[in-house]
Structure 1
């Protein structure tokens, strides 16, 4: 972990929650690393800020670990999509398992005052399943939708974030773009001097 500030969301993250999710583990220059799901409290905060859990959900390490596992499987699928290679069957299986956790139908309920209504149950013990299913569904929509062609990995090593490419932009943030341009300029100066 580091005291380095978290960069702003990568392009496309505002439209695709799954992009924000896979980018919750950040590699930074100098071997530094930020994991926004690194602890149960941090995971609870991340879920709360995105409307996936109440502030007092009480996420435990087992739940945080399941989310980190889904994140790594989604990163694998994103990498396969960007590289145009077949996906790992285990990653597909993990995402499909998460997708199957979502309730499929609003159940019939009855209120003594107002009568019948339909609602999808969401007891506290299903918060994690609902979050996993929501993130997996969003990733599946991104990977199979029109934005999939724009999905790319940040072009500024060691950054490991994914983004939706806009025009020629291949960086997740201004900071990464500046770092990539500075590295190219340094390489040109070094090559001319040698």
Structure 2
């Protein structure tokens, strides 16, 4: 196995990830040949880096495993919704509930506070858990926008096994990357050669 495919840098964003951070989140656990998975959210440090790279958290917010686990859980629920959309099936109630829960974690307006010296004021606090809650709400809203917007018709799964990434289809493109397209073409060519050989 080419070791370059097991590093983060080897995986370029798929079509649509630059518009939809929820698509990037869904694609942050990459299925590799040999039943291996490259998880870009495998540790709190990796999760913090991913959130920072996507403009959802400042550098080194002191991410804890509990918060990283929440993001991985939301990823699985968003993947379940994308699966349902691509397959034309009803969404799992648990996936809908999880995304709606994430959407309601963050108030839509700064809350009212009261300072004994200066009186009332409005502010949005930002400790680590609230930064993570804000990231979860932003990603959930982004997924909801994708699933209910005009791009939903273009959402598809990569057609190269074992890849599990999603993309927004452009024209007839069926693969998330050149690597997956080459692998799918090679598999088809091998299947044709195998069928053509006499027993």
**TM > 0.5 fold call:** yes
The alpha carbon displacement at 1:48 in A equals 1.1
Number of equivalenced pairs: 188
Q: How does 1:14-163 map to 2 (within 5 A)?
A: 14-107=18-111, 120-163=124-167
Residues 76-121 of structure 1, C-alpha deviations (whole Å, 9 max, x = no match)? 00000000000000100000000001221135789xxxxx996544
TM-score w.r.t. length of structure 2? 0.88
The secondary structure found in structure 2 opposite 1:69 is helix
Residue in structure 1 matched with residue 184 of structure 2 by the alignment? 180
Residue in structure 1 matched with residue 7 of structure 2 by the alignment? 5
Dislocated runs of 4+, deviation >3 Å: 106-110, 116-121
Distance in 2 between the 1:141 and 1:163 partners?
A: 15
Distance in 1 between the 2:75 and 2:63 partners?
A: 16
The alpha carbon displacement at 1:17 in A equals 0.5
TM-score w.r.t. length of structure 1? 0.91
Residues 27-60 of structure 1, C-alpha deviations (whole Å, 9 max, x = no match)? 0112221000011111111111111111121111
**Conserved 8 A contact 1:102-1:134:** no
Unaligned segments of structure 1, at least 5 residues: 111-115
Distance in 1 between the 2:42 and 2:109 partners?
A: 33
Distance in 2 between the 1:122 and 1:146 partners?
A: 33
The secondary structure found in structure 2 opposite 1:30 is coil
Distance in 1 between the 2:107 and 2:66 partners?
A: 21
Unaligned segments of structure 2, at least 5 residues: 115-119
